[in-house]
Structure 1
Amino acid sequence: MRLTILSFITLVFLTSCSDKQNISSEMYIGTYRIMDQMVPYPFIIQQKKDTIYLYNNKGNSIDKITNTSINKNKSLNFQEKHLKITQKEDDEFLAFDLLDTTNFKTFKNGKPSPKNSAKFKKIKSENKLDLQKVKKEIGKFIWKYDVVEDENSNPNNDLEIEKLFYFKNDSLNIITNYYYQGLKTISEYETKSYNFFVIDSIYFLSLQKESSNPQPIYQIVRYDSNKIELRDFSSRVSKNIIFHKESISVIDYTELAKNSSIYSNCFDGYQGEYYFGDDVTFNKGNEYIINYVNENIPKNETNSGYLIVHFNINCSGKVGNFGLIQMNRDFKATAFSKEFVNHTINKVSKLEEFPASNSQLERLNYKDVHAFLMFKINNGKIVDVCP
């Protein structure tokens, strides 16, 4: 009798465990494709029981297939994506879309290139959120993010960069402020679409532009009335980023936006270098730049050295996304006066005679380029610039 009861309990226990395993769900978020370019790949894959679901950047299930596992060399053949698993680890995998020959380049022998694969990272539920409360409250405030730079950022040692976010009903408005030694030098403004969604108690914030300009999906880790914590998967090492509630009013924010220059990359995933493809040097030449920046230059600077302003040139020839590096004549770190730096960066931001940039190389797909101007300074005056 005792053996019969024990056997029954064991059977119930094993059945219970089996049921839990069957209903368990594994979630993978698309981080980026192309290992050395990190173009966002905004899709989510969920494995649940014997079905694998594919979600887009708005959290909509766009396809599903019957499959029991995600393993190396296996293919997940959705209707519009045939994802060949080229590498598989416990918490991530690389997938190559066999149907997308434009964005997924093969080797010459036609085999998938792991470098050009898309990376998916396993994620798990963090904190339970009231998503309706988040949607209702988030648009009432302005949120500040002190930028944590990574491989997607332009070279920068000396500028402090903050972003101010305003989640309107129909758009996300972003002001980027650049500070040097506490002085705001310039501000940029752009808008994107956004969406909040939840899949199996995991919460997401996704950004959207045109389909040809993919934007990342963030996992929402936690939210309260003063702070939003997100997990950012857009660089090689995922990181948590925090938006803090800012004291500025919506009215004041709107005024700041009006007084900021409008700038946006045409393709946020990757910027080429100025020396790729066609010549994207300044149309009027370096002599013009020297004379232009020296106009009304502050007289309080007496140091000598090099001031390097990094920036992007977008497909319309506009300038934005700044970085700053300063060196003395021995190429060691130095600091010019805030007035001198503010003047120089403002002058560069107003240059409008750069040619529009678009990739002319099949192996490098970009619409914007990273460029820089290295000013040689002698006793507070610009005497040369390169490239």
Structure 2
Amino acid sequence: MKNLLYIFFLLPVLFSCQSEKRVTIYPNKVGDIVFDKNIDSPDFKRCMDKDYGIQYYSINNSGGLPYEGEKFAIIQELEKLNLSSSKKTNGYITIRFVINCEGKTGLFRVQQMNENYLEENLDKDFSVKLLNFTKSLNGWTPKESRGIKLDYYQYLTYKITNGKVSEILP
């Protein structure tokens, strides 16, 4: 009986303890893009939970780039601009971004690598031109899964050969 009384009095103590809230500096998933007021437009709105998006490869699609006219249309638009770098560099400029459920883009991030895949700033002016070109693309296809509208991550990697875009990946 005495043990039962101890348990009866200890139960409220055990249940009244509050667990600590974990605070982390790491994103939910590797590669998540978090809003940065210094570089991102406050006008871009995600449709899903804050700072969350589906990876482009996780969504059922036709296998092509989710853009009206697919990669061919992007190549045609880029060729019209005839962009080139004043430096005859070789490497890759990857621009990663979020496409919301309305097909609008935002949260752009740029990474540059040399031809050996080592991080390197190839040409700031040229990368800004490619970033602005990527931001101007407005034929992205909204995605939906099981009736839920999705935000998703997408990227374009521009292969640079002798200061010109020689290929667009994926």
Which category describes the TM-score, using the shorter chain as reference length?
0.7 to 0.9
Structure 2 residue 160 is matched with structure 1 residue 377:
yes
Rounded to whole Å, the distance in 2 between the matches of 1:323 and 1:155 is: 11
Rounded to whole Å, the distance in 2 between the matches of 1:276 and 1:346 is: 27
Structure with greater strand share of residues: 1
Rounded to whole Å, the distance in 2 between the matches of 1:349 and 1:338 is: 16
Q: Secondary structure at the match of 1:358?
A: strand
Aligned to 1:274: 56
Aligned to 1:247: none
Alignment of 1:287-306 (within 5 A): 287-294=72-79, 295-306=81-92
When Rg is computed on C-alpha atoms for both structures, the one with the higher figure is: 1
Higher relative contact order (CA 8 A, sep 6+): 2
Aligned to 1:151: 27
4+ long deviations beyond 4 Å: 152-156
1:326–1:336 Cα contact (<8 Å) kept: yes
Q: Secondary structure at the match of 1:321?
A: strand
Change (3 A) 1:286 1:91: same
Shift of residue 285, structure 1, vs aligned partner: 2.0
Alignment of 1:164-203 (within 5 A): 177-178=38-39, 188-190=41-43
Rounded to whole Å, the distance in 2 between the matches of 1:296 and 1:154 is: 35
Change (3 A) 1:122 1:376: closer
Shift of residue 313, structure 1, vs aligned partner: 0.7
1:305–1:329 Cα contact (<8 Å) kept: yes
Rounded to whole Å, the distance in 2 between the matches of 1:322 and 1:292 is: 19
Alignment of 1:1-387 (within 5 A): 68-69=12-13, 71=15, 91-92=19-20, 121=21, 150-151=26-27, 155=31, 162-163=36-37, 177-178=38-39, 188-190=41-43, 263-269=44-50, 270-279=52-61, 281-294=66-79, 295-360=81-146, 367-387=150-170
Structure with greater helix share of residues: 2
Task: Give per-residue Cα distances to partners, 1:190-213, cap 9 Å, x unaligned.
Answer: 3xxxxxxxxxxxxxxxxxxxxxxx
Task: Give per-residue Cα distances to partners, 1:349-384, cap 9 Å, x unaligned.
Answer: 1111111122349xxx77200111111111111111
Rounded to whole Å, the distance in 2 between the matches of 1:334 and 1:355 is: 32
- The one-letter amino acid paired with 2:48 is F
Shift of residue 277, structure 1, vs aligned partner: 2.6
1:277–1:360 Cα contact (<8 Å) kept: no
Q: Give ranges in structure 1 of 5+ residues lacking alignment.
A: 1-66, 75-87, 93-120, 124-148, 164-176, 179-186, 191-262
Rounded to whole Å, the distance in 1 between the matches of 2:26 and 2:78 is: 30
Aligned to 2:5: none
Shift of residue 155, structure 1, vs aligned partner: 4.2
Shift of residue 153, structure 1, vs aligned partner: 8.6
Shift of residue 265, structure 1, vs aligned partner: 0.9
1:299–1:380 Cα contact (<8 Å) kept: yes
2:94–2:110 Cα contact (<8 Å) kept: yes
Identity of aligned residues (%): 26
1:305–1:377 Cα contact (<8 Å) kept: yes
1:154–1:311 Cα contact (<8 Å) kept: no
Rounded to whole Å, the distance in 1 between the matches of 2:142 and 2:59 is: 12
Taking structure 2 as the reference length, the TM-score comes to 0.73
- The one-letter amino acid paired with 1:378 is T
1:304–1:379 Cα contact (<8 Å) kept: yes
